[in-house]
Amino acid sequence: MKYLEKQLFNWKLWDSFESSIMLFRHISLLVKIGDFEIGTQFECAEIHLDSSTLRLYKNQNDYEFFEFNLVLTAVGPGRKRSLHDS
């Protein structure tokens, strides 16, 4: 299974702020998000884990962004695991 962000977009650089914000630079969408088609590029994306939101910035020096709510879905039948599993 891919990490959450790898299901949404490709990126060239990333960083994290605090424990709840992940910042990605130079992204290209892998899925359609809102009105933005696959392949749309943004200079910056932020995933805010504390508010379950995604912010997309066309220009990181601009204060305007597009914000989307993220919804988590559990898939598959699940499987019994142990903390000792690798």
pTM metric for this prediction: 0.83
The first and second tokens of residue 66, run together, are 């597009």
62-74, pLDDT tens digit by residue? 889 999 999 988 8
Q: Which of 40, 45, 37 is nearest to 13 (CA)?
A: 45
17-44, pLDDT tens digit by residue? 888 999 999 999 999 999 999 999 999 9
